[in-house]
Amino acid sequence: MKILAIETSCDDTGIAILKIPKTKAQSPNFVVLSNTVASQIEVHKPYGGVYPMLAKREHLKNLPIVLKKALKQTNISDPKKQIDLLAVTNGPGLEPCLWAGVNLTKELSKSWEIPIVPVNHIEGHILVNYLENKKIKFPAIALVVSGGHTQLILMKKIGSYKILGETRDDAAGECFDKCAKILGLPYPGGPEIEKLSKKLKDKNSKLKVSLPRPMINTKDYDFSFSGLKTAVLYTWQKMIPARKVSDRTLYGQMQIAMASEVQQAVIDVLLKKTMKAVNGYKAKTLILGGGVSANQELRRQFQKALKTNNSTAVELFMPSANLSTDNAVMTAITAYFHRNKKIATSDVTILKAEANLRIK
Ligand code: KG4
Ligand code: ZN
């Protein structure tokens, strides 16, 4: 079967076409025929963040172009006959953006007479791991860290989830983006912070800064990152007048020192709470997903932590970097697993975008 999936929950316009061979296996070998993501980074860069109405306008502009490209790439001339299922992210995300994808999918459903499977974006970040790994054992713990969410999830099986904890304020990616802005770095901040952190040569340099690790020792599985951003702001303001900003080398070194400490503070908190959940729930698999999980240092430290963990062997699954950030392959894979929940063309009017949709 072939699934055409649409993802517009934030600032990436994604369309993917997935081929699934006929099989009795629960998790087949998915074949990605097409995976296009039109990024809006350049549009949002001047503002240092995503503006929902601007993002919606870009989705409306990009969707027909990306759709045409996907159909051309896969030689699909008669979608009505050649596509079996449509999938669309209907939440959580930015409401105007979600509607852009949902409305187009409804129109396609009507004109091609193909049913729709609505997809939860967070579940997509988890299940995209099935593209490269079939060996997910349960119970599993999933850490989804993106620009909009930071959630620790207990997964009992595909389709059965419990949110153990989540951020009480900013998401981890949002924290990276805001801290990067304070340091004068472009949007999106996560990759910029990672790039700068790699340049840190002397961990004991005189410029060493020390930031808090909010909620690291609390008994729950919740997170809080807005205090970290405030600490960065005050520390940065103190650092700058004391030095000559005109000294570009010194300024660059200060940025590096701050970026690497922000990155480590976020990793420390995520790692501590996640390992607590892994051990507490005797997880057999740890799954990472969401844009922040593209961070190589985070990946390295999670791998190391699992190696030195005393508990039973836990396998770590993380998607390759281009599938950690938003894409529609994740939407298509999730729709495959929930193909029984498809909505018939005659009923698609009931499908709504839900900005605060929760995984359960
Ligand atoms: O999952 P995603 O693409 O979109 C949302 O669902 O929000 O995640 C985007 C977030 C942004 O905040 C971005 O700064 C962050 O992921 N991000 C990273 C890296 N790449 C993207 N954060 C840290 N290191 C990275 N390499
Ligand atoms: Zn996402």
Question: pLDDT per residue over 100-133, tens digit each?
Answer: 999 999 999 999 999 999 999 999 999 999 999 8
Distance 338 CA to ligand 2 centre (A): 19
What pLDDT is stored for residue 284 in this prediction?
96
Q: Is the CB of 325 under 6 A from ligand 1?
A: yes
Q: Is the CB of 255 under 6 A from ligand 1?
A: no
What pLDDT is stored for residue 78 in this prediction?
98
pLDDT over 80 (residue 246): no
Q: What is the 3-state secondary structure (H, E, C) of 120-182?
A: EHHHHHHHHHHHCCCCCCCCEEEEEECCCCEEEEEEEECCEEEEEEEECCCCHHHHHHHHHHH
What pLDDT is stored for residue 2 in this prediction?
98
Q: What is the mean pLDDT of residues 48-74?
A: 95
Q: Is the CB of 294 under 6 A from ligand 1?
A: yes
What pLDDT is stored for residue 47 in this prediction?
86
- In this structure, the answer to whether residues 79 and 146 fall within a common structural domain is no
- In this structure, the answer to whether residues 99 and 164 fall within a common structural domain is no
- In this structure, the answer to whether residues 168 and 80 fall within a common structural domain is no
- In this structure, the answer to whether residues 120 and 146 fall within a common structural domain is no
What pLDDT is stored for residue 238 in this prediction?
87
Q: What is the mean pLDDT of residues 188-194?
A: 97
Is 356 domain-assigned? no
Q: Which residue has the higher pLDDT, 26 or 224?
A: 224
- In this structure, the answer to whether residues 243 and 313 fall within a common structural domain is yes
Is 360 domain-assigned? no
Substitution candidate for ligand 1 out of 176, 266, 293 with most atoms within 8 A of CB: 176
- In this structure, the answer to whether residues 225 and 302 fall within a common structural domain is yes
Residues 210 and 316: their CA atoms lie apart, in Å, by 30
Which atom of ligand 1 is found nearest the CA of 325?
3
Q: Is the CB of 10 under 6 A from ligand 1?
A: yes
Q: What is the pLDDT of residues 320-333, one digit of tens each?
A: 999 999 999 999 99
Residues 7 and 334: their CA atoms lie apart, in Å, by 12
Q: What percent of the chain has pLDDT over 90?
A: 86
- In this structure, the answer to whether residues 271 and 336 fall within a common structural domain is no
- In this structure, the answer to whether residues 81 and 97 fall within a common structural domain is yes
pLDDT over 80 (residue 7): yes
Instruction: Give the confidence band of 248 by pLDDT, cuts at 50, 70, 90.
Output: confident
Task: Identify the CATH number of the domain in which residue 49 sits.
Answer: 3.30.420.40
Least trusted range by pLDDT, from 21-35, 42-56, 241-255:
241-255
Q: What is the mean pLDDT of residues 228-251?
A: 84
Distance 12 CA to ligand 2 centre (A): 9
- Tell me how far CA of residue 208 lies from CA of 185, 190, 257, in angstroms: 19, 20, 6
Distance 146 CA to ligand 1 centre (A): 5
- The angle that helices 226-242 and 172-182 make with each other, rounded to 10 degrees, is 20
Residues 315 and 305: their CA atoms lie apart, in Å, by 12
- In this structure, the answer to whether residues 175 and 251 fall within a common structural domain is yes
Tokens 């700058």: give the residue: 240
Is 355 domain-assigned? no
Residues 59 and 101: their CA atoms lie apart, in Å, by 8
- In this structure, the answer to whether residues 116 and 153 fall within a common structural domain is no
- In this structure, the answer to whether residues 82 and 164 fall within a common structural domain is no
**Number of separate domains in the chain:** 2
Q: Is the CB of 295 under 6 A from ligand 1?
A: yes
Is 177 domain-assigned? yes
- Tell me how far CA of residue 256 lies from CA of 135, 214, 279, in angstroms: 39, 21, 34
Distance 242 CA to ligand 1 centre (A): 32
Tokens 């299922």: give the residue: 85
- In this structure, the answer to whether residues 123 and 145 fall within a common structural domain is no
Domain housing 59? 2-128+323-350
What pLDDT is stored for residue 64 in this prediction?
98
Q: Is the CB of 145 under 6 A from ligand 1?
A: no
What pLDDT is stored for residue 244 in this prediction?
62
Q: What is the pLDDT of residues 258-295, one digit of tens each?
A: 999 999 999 999 999 999 999 999 999 999 999 999 99
Q: What is the pLDDT of residues 127-155, one digit of tens each?
A: 999 999 888 999 999 999 999 999 999 99
Instruction: Give the confidence band of 182 by pLDDT, cuts at 50, 70, 90.
Output: very high
Residues 185 and 183: their CA atoms lie apart, in Å, by 6
What pLDDT is stored for residue 241 in this prediction?
67
**Which residues does 19 contact at the CB level (< 8 Å), separation at least 6?**
1, 2, 30, 31, 33
Distance 299 CA to ligand 1 centre (A): 14
Instruction: Give the confidence band of 48 by pLDDT, cuts at 50, 70, 90.
Output: confident
Residues 233 and 283: their CA atoms lie apart, in Å, by 37
